[in-house]
């Protein structure tokens, strides 16, 4: 169910420019997916847990009982989230470069949102081969 994430596939000997972690989280209690301020606080804490530096954030609530979309801009890139309380689903995108560890950010997000199911993919990003 919650298997460890694989190391990024970088191909060849080229160094990665960053790690891009995409996570689908399901089976989340709807009330955890509706509060834009709480989600902003959560993603800021997740960035700090990953060793990233927060620059700015912006979150939008689609109204009472509805979902949230938002982004935390980092010196190392970003964390974004889109939530659907009506289906208990959240899509999380964590892109970090440098020494930041996106897996730590996802672990904190999952600890708070408590998804019953999760699927994550870690991709190494690089300009090598372009």
118, 13 in Cβ contact below 8 A? no
82 is catalytic: yes
Provide the sign of the torsion angle of the four alpha carbons 125, 127, 129, 130, taken in this order.
positive
Structure tokens at 19: 């790690």
Reading phi first (left if > 0) and then psi (alpha if -120 to 50, else beta), residue 27 is in left
110 is catalytic: no
Measured distance CA(25)–CA(84) in Å, rounded: 10
Measured distance CA(66)–CA(34) in Å, rounded: 6
Catalytic residue among 77, 78, 80, 110: 77
Catalytic residue among 16, 97, 112, 126: 97
Which phi and psi (to 5°) does residue 86 adopt?
-65, -20
Structure tokens at 108: 């904190």
Catalytic residue among 16, 82, 112, 126: 82
56 is catalytic: no
* Residues recognised as catalytic: 77, 82, 97
């Amino acid at each position: 169910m919650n298997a460890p994430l694989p190391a990024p596939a970088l191909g060849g000997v080229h160094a990665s420019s960053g790690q891009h972690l995409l996570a689908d989280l399901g089976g989340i209690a709807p009330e955890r997916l509706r509060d834009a301020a709480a989600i902003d606080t959560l993603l800021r804490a997740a960035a700090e847990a990953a060793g990233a530096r927060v620059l700015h954030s912006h979150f939008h609530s689609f109204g009472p009982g509805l979902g949230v979309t938002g982004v935390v801009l980092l010196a190392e890139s970003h964390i974004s989230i889109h939530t659907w309380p009506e289906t208990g689903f959240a899509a999380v995108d964590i892109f970090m470069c440098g020494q930041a560890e996106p897996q730590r950010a996802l672990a904190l997000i999952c600890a708070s949102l408590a998804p019953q199911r999760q699927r994550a993919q870690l991709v190494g990003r690089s300009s090598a081969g372009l």
